[in-house]
Amino acid sequence: MRTNRILSFAVVLCVGLAAACSPAPPDSAQEIPEPDAKIVYVDGMPKISLNGKILNPEFNQSGAHNEYKARAARHMDSLGININQLTLHPDEYELASGVYSFDAYEKKVLQLLENVPDGRILLLVRLEFRKWLAAHPGERIEFANGPIESTGDERVNRVARPSAASTAYRAEVKRFLTQLGEFTRSQPWGNRVIAVRPSWGVYTEWHMYAFDQGPDISPAMAEVFHKWKDGRYAGESLPTMEERIDKDDPFFLDKEKHQKVLDYFDCEANVVTDYMLEVAHTIKEVLPGRLVGMYYGYVMTTHEPEGANVMLDKVLSSPDIDFLSNPADYTRNARLPGGAYYHRTVPASFHRYGKLAMLEDDMRHYHVYEQISHKHLSTRNETEAEMTTRRNWLNQYFDGCGIQMLDPESNQDSRPFLMDAPPVWRAIADTKKVLGQIGGRPEVSGNKVAVVVDWRGRLQRSSSEEEVFALVYRESLWGLYASGVPFDLMTLDDFLALPAKCYEKAVFLNVVAPEGEMRAALEKRVSARNFKSAWLVRCPFPLPESSARVFDISALPSGNDAWREILEDLGETPIGPVGYLVRRHGNVVMFHTGEAGTYTLHLPKGMSKVKELYSGREYNSSEIVLQTEGSATFLFKAK
């Protein structure tokens, strides 16, 4: 009789009876070798190598533990997407403080394999440990904005959650993960588990819980902060809500006035990151050969600094991290037809480290409009659903990333899957074929403009004017994507790692306070005679106006024409009309619109003979006139 590592004979007996009643695993499960999974780059694209077999990084995240989810898993499997995420919640494995059962985990695995016999498994495990935390209240986060509340939304309410600074909590997590790994390896289906996604933070993302509620002022965090910077703040209180705000600067905190707050933001971000890497290392030890990934790296978003999970270089340089995931921003300009569906992270950094960025497709579609809550982000008809799905999936090529499908909405058991519509399936199948026709992804995009962000700026921002500050990330990004001029997005670290000849034009969105060698290298690069740049908010050093212009983002005109003019001032020639999405990498160009119209594209030099890959239509001119009756997505490749 199988038993879990638990403390009471009664629990052991229940576990054994549950196992006896569980369906048997498929015979083929016993023939699967121990996984050896890693991220590799093939023809410039990130792939998963599983025991030497190359797999596309495409995940289905529905699970299969009810008919709604099982049908979604079967649909995805029919499209060749059979890496399936299963989610394990604390209420499913935590019997009591420090007492764990993995029956629900096993049941979910077997239900999935009944529906997807050749499926592989990505396990997401949430690490709140609510029962353990109730027995150890001193290890909780304490919020600067007030006492813990019993219930509520874990982003906006002060719910009881473990502090990442707690050594006792981290030790318990390691003990739990060790048991989870031992259990998985002992099962006949254990080798089906090829990846693990540990989760701490709001909505399973590694943001500090209730980050709108200020710093974590728990004793555990205070102990770490008092040792930070060689004990500079020993004996001092942690930052208050008021100290986080600079009323004189709505964008960034002044170092002379707010050094303690800035050091606290840096400290907390490192505490969370160190904990995350510690968890990843444990998983690599107890489940060797598996991929490990998290929801992390949200540089292009507007959460408070306490919630920033932005330390890309520290995380991606770790041998224990294989992939990070992120959803597109939840705005109309990012989501709806005509939008760009851009990442919250910066895929260029992943390429530099040979890691995998996963873009989450959690679109809402017309066929479930009445049942969903996010109606303002839903497509309205079949055409919009098909064309936005094309757009989302084509980002794999233009960003060099993978994609994962998720339905996070409510009322799931009473309605179809968010992607369970013929136009969506058709778009996925068609785009998978088109991606296969494109061929390799060249290292050099051919774009002339670098759009540069500094993740450190997320830890330096003032908390007084979120709406104004959002312009730096949300409004500016959409304006750039809708300018008609293609560009390459990268971090300051990515930019400085490239040879100077790669880009002689750049837009700097939030690069305001580089220090030391980085500052010197940046100043040398942008001061070169042929270099032209545009800066939002401020430039960190004096540059002649003939080569650099600084824009007050809050004073920029509304609409996308301003960004079109900025890029044209840098000497760029637009490919498409302003207000619509144009992307280019190598000899491939995408055009996406959300509305009917006539559009003229002026393709780059060398693209005078092209083929539109969805329709097969050929063009013998670099000027292409398109007519659409509604939303449309085109993909052109030069011969």
Res 537: pLDDT: 84
Q: Which of 454-458, 574-578, 588-592 has the lowest mean pLDDT?
A: 454-458
Residues in Cβ contact with 290 at an 8 Å cutoff, skipping those fewer than 6 apart: 35, 37, 193, 194, 195, 196, 283, 284
Res 248: pLDDT: 81
Spatial separation of the C-alpha atoms in residues 399 and 342, rounded to whole Å: 9
- Give me the half-sphere count of Cα atoms (radius 13 Å) on the Cβ side of residue 58: 22
Kindly list the distances between the CA atom of residue 357 and the CA atoms of 57, 276, 379, 590, 610, in Å, as whole numbers in the listed order.
9, 17, 25, 20, 29
88 strand-pairing partners: 125
Q: How far is CA 616 from the centre of its chain?
A: 33
Q: Which of 14-18, 38-42, 458-462 has the lowest mean pLDDT?
A: 14-18
Query: Is residue 11 very low, low, confident or very high in pLDDT (cuts 50, 70, 90)?
Result: very low
Res 623: pLDDT: 97
Q: Per-residue pLDDT tens for 503-550?
A: 999 999 999 889 999 999 999 999 999 999 999 888 999 999 889 999
- Count Cβ atoms below 10 Å from residue 255 Cβ, excluding itself: 13
Residues in Cβ contact with 73 at an 8 Å cutoff, skipping those fewer than 6 apart: 60, 62, 63, 64, 84, 112, 115, 116, 119
Q: Per-residue pLDDT tens for 385-427?
A: 999 999 999 999 999 999 999 998 888 778 888 998 999 999 9
| Side chain identity, residue 513 | A
Q: Per-residue pLDDT tens for 421-459?
A: 999 999 999 999 999 999 999 999 999 999 999 999 889
pTM over 0.95: no
Q: How far is CA 155 from the centre of its chain?
A: 17
Residues in Cβ contact with 118 at an 8 Å cutoff, skipping those fewer than 6 apart: 28, 77, 82
Res 414: pLDDT: 83
Residues in Cβ contact with 416 at an 8 Å cutoff, skipping those fewer than 6 apart: 68, 367, 368
358 strand-pairing partners: 325, 402
Closest CA to 458 of 217, 211, 275: 211
Q: Strand (E) positions, 29-79? A: 37-42, 45-50, 53-55, 58-60
Query: 511: burial class by Cβ within 10 Å (0-12, 13-18, 19+)?
Result: buried
The answer to whether the beta carbons of residues 249 and 256 sit under 8 Å apart is no
Q: How far is CA 397 from the centre of its chain?
A: 16
Spatial separation of the C-alpha atoms in residues 30 and 567, rounded to whole Å: 58
Q: Per-residue pLDDT tens for 13-27?
A: 233 333 334 444 444
Helices (H), 447-515: 466-470, 476-481, 492-497
Residue with tokens 């144009």: 582
Domain boundaries, the chain: 9-434, 449-638
Closest CA to 631 of 331, 341, 415, 290: 341
Spatial separation of the C-alpha atoms in residues 101 and 8, rounded to whole Å: 11
9-434, what's its fold? TIM Barrel (3.20.20)
Query: Is residue 557 very low, low, confident or very high in pLDDT (cuts 50, 70, 90)?
Result: low
Name the CA dihedral angle for 451, 457, 459, 461, rounded to a multiple of 10 degrees: -120
Spatial separation of the C-alpha atoms in residues 261 and 305, rounded to whole Å: 10
Q: Per-residue pLDDT tens for 96-155?
A: 999 999 999 999 999 999 999 999 999 999 999 999 999 999 999 999 999 998 778 888
Query: Is residue 211 very low, low, confident or very high in pLDDT (cuts 50, 70, 90)?
Result: confident
